[in-house]
Amino acid sequence: MTSFPENSLRFESGKNNLTHRINPRNGDRISLLGFGAMRLPMLPGAPLPSGPEVDEAAAMALMDRAYQEGVNYFDTAWPYHQGVSEVVVGKTLKKYPRNSFNLTDKMPSFLNPDRKKAEEIFQTQLERCRTEYFDYYLCHSLMSRENFVNVYERDGVLDFLMEQKKQGRIRNLGWSFHGDMETLDYVLGCGADWDVGQLQLNYHDVLHRYVPNIWNTQFLTREAAQPARALERLAEAKIPVIVMEPLLGGRLGGQTRRAAEILRAARPEASVAFWAFRFAAGLPNVLCVLSGMNQVGHLGDNLHSYSPYEPLTDEDKAVLQKSLDVFVSQEHVPCTGCGYCVPCPADINIPGVFKLYNRAVDDDYVPPAARPRERERDFGPAYDRELGEIGKSADCLKCGACQDHCPQGIAVPDRMDQIRTFAEKLNILSK
């Protein structure tokens, strides 16, 4: 297992023993668990988990509970639930003293805003969130040097954001990142005084060591060393890290059956997600770990992980590596369910299709030829039941619009072909 120095940021115990860390740049006292408002509770019958049909009462109750338990870092963004997330977050937090929580929002890079549009977006975000300033504000989902130059440098959007920082409407300026090391080095060297960086960090992406089995010859293409190098670069720049996707979009919380059994055997009292949160918090320079919680049980489990935070032991690390080796031997699509790929021109619920496929190729259903009836029973009815009349893999137009927005770099049309072939082998009608 890759070895990292233990996180050295100063910490304190907060309400109900929840660990808080101290931002070394400004002294902010940040709860180690952050509330990510990208996957809020949905109303019954909502077609997509990322749509605007948010169950406002349930979402507000969940955030209220988090606040009361000591969580003081809340993260939202322009595209989350098509703008509804910002509204619900603002409505919830308005009840509390403004200096008692930290609110994060983001400039939507995917809209390619010029300066005038960026000014309009920023003002709208302040109004939606019912606030006069953001504690942390990020350039959202940087994916390439070209993307950063075109969106933030060419038309003065970065200059505008730095002006807002001088005026106090942004207290800390940073970015969320899905690019390569060349892009990261360019962003760090562009002359901006960055205060924080948000990275996708989880034990799969950081430690992934491909272990093939006789049924799966596909390689998961994310480079394992890149997250480690990104951590090192931000430590060198003395920029604290906010972790996103500690569960890889929930995939490390559900795990595969055999992989999960390894973790449960070592700690029967702990959830599978517990291991992922402990790993993420132990990485160097990590200030806060976000979780997209939409159930009270999720919140309770995550609070347990950090109340107080318990570092992984050497024995724990060995168990985690063993479980990971089993997990990566499965033929999964590395989708985190972020929903950036939808809406789709063919009305395909892309994250939903990937979720069902990943479930179908779980341990109980490999090797492919061994138990086709069980695979069909799991995949076929779920395909119709959970996706309904929404477009399915066979409807893919191969337009590629989804790929441009996928932070994981998934070749979506190719994967749709793969899933269509999989379904046809099981004699399932994919439409």
Secondary structure (DSSP) of 291-318: E---SHHHHHHHHHHBTTB-PPPHHHHH
> Would 338 be classed as within a structural domain?
no
Which pLDDT does position 98 carry in this prediction? 98
Domain range enclosing 136: 11-327
pLDDT in tens, 250-266: 878 876 788 899 999 99
Q: Are residues 137 and 286 in the same domain?
A: yes
Is pLDDT larger for residue 304 or for residue 351?
Answer: 304
User: How many folded domains does the chain comprise?
Assistant: 2
Judge contact between 195 and 26, C-beta under 8 A. Answer: yes
Q: How far apart are CA 41 and CA 50, in angstroms?
A: 10
Shared-domain flag, residues 370 and 223: no
What is the Cα–Cα distance from 6 to 314, expressed in whole angstroms? 12
Mark whether 178 and 306 lie in a shared domain. yes
pLDDT confidence bin for 425, thresholds 50/70/90? low
- Confidence bin at 383 (pLDDT 50/70/90): low
DSSP state of 250: T
Say yes or no: 356 and 315 in one domain.
no
- Give this prediction's pTM: 0.82
Amino acid (1-letter code) at residue 302: N
In three-state secondary structure terms, 333 is: coil
- State the pLDDT at residue 3: 66
SS3 415: helix
Same domain for 168 and 258: yes
pLDDT: which is higher, 35 or 216? 35
Say if residue 206 is in the same domain as residue 312: yes
Q: How far from 397 is each of 211, 238, 408, CA to CA, in Å?
A: 33, 45, 20
pLDDT-derived band of residue 221, with 50, 70 and 90 as boundaries?
very low
pLDDT of residue 55: 97
One domain, residues 322 and 369: no
CA-closest candidate to residue 348, choices 398, 310, 298, 302: 398
Q: What is the arithmetic mean of pLDDT over 376-388? A: 56
Answer yes or no: do 273 and 360 share one domain.
no
∠ CA 20-302-271, nearest 5°, is: 140
Mean pLDDT of the chain: 85
Supply the angle between the helices 257-266 and 314-327 in degrees, to the nearest 10: 170
CATH number, residue 296: 3.20.20.100
Q: Residues 316, 393: one domain?
A: no
Rounded Cα gap, residues 50 and 85, in angstroms: 10
Let me know: does 126 contact 132? Beta carbons within 8 Å: yes
The reply to whether 315 and 420 lie within a common domain is no
Q: How far is CA 292 from CA 188, 211, 336, in A?
A: 27, 29, 11
Most confident by average pLDDT, 117-121, 227-231, 350-354 = 117-121
Same domain for 127 and 70 = yes
How does residue 336 score in pLDDT terms, banded at 50, 70 and 90?
A: low
Average pLDDT over residues 188-196: 96
The verdict on residue 4 lying in a domain is: no
Taking the C-alpha atoms of residue 35 and residue 40, their distance in angstroms, rounded to an integer, is: 10
Best-predicted range by mean pLDDT (39-53, 116-130, 406-420): 116-130
pLDDT at residue 354 tops 90? no
